[in-house]
C-alpha cells in the first residue's frame, strides 16, 4: 500500500509542476502543428497504400500501410522518439537525489516505509505521468482527425493502442536511466544535465555519428556505380546496424515501422503475429535497457548512506 501512496504523491507532484505543464504544452503544440501542416494530405488520402518509410537517423526503414489514422499516429509516435526520451529523462533525473538534497528523504524514512517502496513508488508515479501524456497525444490525434472529417478504421485504431504501449515502454527506458543517475550523483542539477543530455545525444546526434563511424570502418569509398561500391555500401549498412543496436531509439523506431507495416502485394497490413516475430529482438532490447538501469539504481539506493 505504501508503494501506491508514494506513487500517487509522485504523480500529483509531477503533474502540478511547471516542468510537466511546459513539456505537455510543447508536445501538444508540435503535434497540432504537424497535423495541421499535412491536413491536406490526409483529406486526399482516400485510398490507403503501402509506402516505403525511412527513419534514417534511427537506422530503421520498412514498408508501412498508410491510412489517414495510421499515418497520423505514426507521425505522432515517431515524434515521440525524441520528445518521449527527453520527457522520461527529465522526470526521473531528480527523483532520488533531490529528496536527499532537501533532507525530505529522512522525513520519509521516518515513517513506516521501506527503501524499496520509495524507489518503486517514484518509478510508478512517473510512469503514470508518461502514460497520461502519451494517452493525451493519442486522443488528441484521433480528435483532430474527427474534427477535420477524416474517417477512422478499426485496424489502425487497434495498432495505435499497441504502438501506445510500445511508446510507454520506450519512455520508461529513459526514466529508468535517469533514476539511475539520480542515485549515482548527489546534485540534482548534474543528474538532470546528464540525463537530458544523453536523451538528446541518442535521439538527435548519435545517428549522425553512426553514419560517420560506419563510413570510416567500411574503408575507402570506391567509385560510384562499380561492383566494389555496392560491396562497400553493404559493409557500411552492416556497421550502421551494429552501431545502432545499443540505441533504444533504434529499436523503438523499428517496432513502430513493424506495428504499422504493410504488404505491397495485398496492399494491407502485415499480420501482427508476423510483425512481432520480426520485432522480437527489438522488444527484447527495449526491455533489457529498461530493467538493467533500474536494477542497478535499486541496488545503489538500497545500499546508500542517506544520512
In a domain, 224, yes or no: yes
| Mean per-residue pLDDT, 190-213 | 93
The predicted structure's pLDDT at residue 30: 83
| Mean per-residue pLDDT, 107-122 | 82
Query: For residue 240, what is its C-alpha cell?
Result: 550502421
Q: Are 42 and 154 in contact (CB under 8 A)?
A: no
In a domain, 56, yes or no: no
Q: Over the stretch 148-182, which tens digit does the pLDDT of each residue have?
A: 877 788 899 999 999 999 999 999 999 999 999 99
Under the banding of pLDDT at 50, 70 and 90, the label for residue 111 is confident
Q: Over the stretch 230-267, which tens digit does the pLDDT of each residue have?
A: 898 899 989 998 999 999 999 999 999 999 998 888 88
Neighbours of 303 (CB within 10 A): 9
Query: For residue 158, what is its C-alpha cell?
Result: 487497434
The predicted structure's pLDDT at residue 306: 65
More confident residue, 111 or 95: 95
Name the average pLDDT for the chain: 87
The predicted structure's pLDDT at residue 117: 86
pLDDT at position 26 over 70:
yes
Cα-based torsion angle of the residue sequence 243, 246, 249, 254 in order, rounded to the nearest 10 degrees: 70
Q: Are 234 and 226 in contact (CB under 8 A)?
A: no
pLDDT at position 286 over 90:
yes
In a domain, 287, yes or no: yes
| Mean per-residue pLDDT, 106-116 | 77
In a domain, 79, yes or no: yes
In a domain, 44, yes or no: yes
The predicted structure's pLDDT at residue 46: 66
- Cβ-Cβ contacts under 8 Å for 250 (sequence gap 6 or more): 58, 59, 60, 244
Number of domains in the chain: 1
| Mean per-residue pLDDT, 81-93 | 89
Q: Are 206 and 247 in contact (CB under 8 A)?
A: yes
| Mean per-residue pLDDT, 80-93 | 89
User: Which residue segment(s) compose the domain that 218 sits in?
Assistant: 3-48+62-303
pLDDT at position 1 over 60:
no
In a domain, 189, yes or no: yes
DSSP characters for the chain?
Answer: -HHHHHHHHHHHHHHTSHHHHHHHHHHHHHHHHHHHHTHHHHHH--S-EEEEEEEGGGTEEEEEEE-HHHHHHHHHHHHHHHHHHHHHHHHHTTTTHHHHHHTHHHHHHTSS--HHHHHHHHHHHHHHHHHHHHHHHHHHHHHHHHHTT----HHHHHHHHHHHHHHHHHHHHHHHHHHHHHHH-S-HHHHHHHHHHHHHIIIIIHHHHHHHHHHHHT-SPPPTTSHHHHHHHHHHHHHHHHHHTT-HHHHHHHHHHHHTBEETTTTEEPPHHHHHHHTHHHHHHHHHHHHHHHHHHHHHHHH----
- Cβ-Cβ contacts under 8 Å for 5 (sequence gap 6 or more): 121
Amino acid at each position: 500500500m505504501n508503494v501506491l501512496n508514494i506513487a500517487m504523491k509522485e504523480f500529483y507532484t509531477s503533474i502540478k509542476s511547471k516542468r510537466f505543464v511546459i513539456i505537455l504544452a510543447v508536445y501538444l503544440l508540435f503535434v497540432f502543428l504537424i497535423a495541421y501542416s499535412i491536413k491536406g494530405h490526409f483529406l486526399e488520402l482516400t485510398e490507403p497504400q503501402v509506402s516505403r518509410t525511412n527513419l534514417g537517423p534511427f537506422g530503421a526503414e520498412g514498408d508501412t500501410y498508410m491510412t489517414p489514422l495510421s499515418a497520423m499516429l505514426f507521425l505522432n509516435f515517431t515524434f515521440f522518439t525524441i520528445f518521449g526520451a527527453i520527457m522520461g529523462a527529465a522526470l526521473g533525473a531528480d527523483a532520488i537525489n533531490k529528496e536527499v538534497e532537501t533532507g525530505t528523504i529522512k522525513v520519509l524514512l521516518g515513517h513506516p516505509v521501506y527503501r524499496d517502496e520509495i524507489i518503486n513508488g517514484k518509478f510508478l508515479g512517473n510512469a503514470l505521468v508518461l502514460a497520461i501524456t502519451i494517452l493525451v497525444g493519442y486522443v488528441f490525434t484521433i480528435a483532430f482527425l474527427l474534427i477535420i472529417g477524416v474517417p477512422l478504421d478499426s485496424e489502425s485504431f487497434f495498432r495505435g493502442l499497441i504502438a501506445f504501449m510500445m511508446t510507454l515502454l520506450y519512455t520508461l527506458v529513459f526514466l529508468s536511466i535517469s533514476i539511475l543517475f539520480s542515485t549515482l550523483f548527489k546534485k540534482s542539477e548534474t543528474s538532470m544535465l546528464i540525463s537530458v543530455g544523453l536523451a538528446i545525444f541518442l535521439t538527435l546526434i548519435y545517428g549522425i555519428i553512426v553514419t560517420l563511424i560506419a563510413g570510416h570502418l567500411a574503408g575507402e569509398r570506391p567509385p560510384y556505380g562499380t561492383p566494389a561500391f555496392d560491396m562497400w555500401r553493404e559493409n557500411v549498412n552492416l556497421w550502421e546496424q551494429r552501431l545502432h543496436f545499443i540505441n533504444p531509439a533504434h529499436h523503438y523506431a523499428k517496432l513502430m515501422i513493424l506495428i504499422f507495416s504493410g504488404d505491397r502485394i495485398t496492399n494491407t497490413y502485415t499480420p501482427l503475429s508476423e510483425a512481432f516475430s520480426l520485432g522480437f529482438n527489438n522488444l527484447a532490447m527495449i526491455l533489457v535497457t529498461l530493467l538493467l538501469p533500474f536494477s542497478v539504481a535499486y541496488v545503489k539506493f538500497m545500499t546508500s548512506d542517506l544520512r
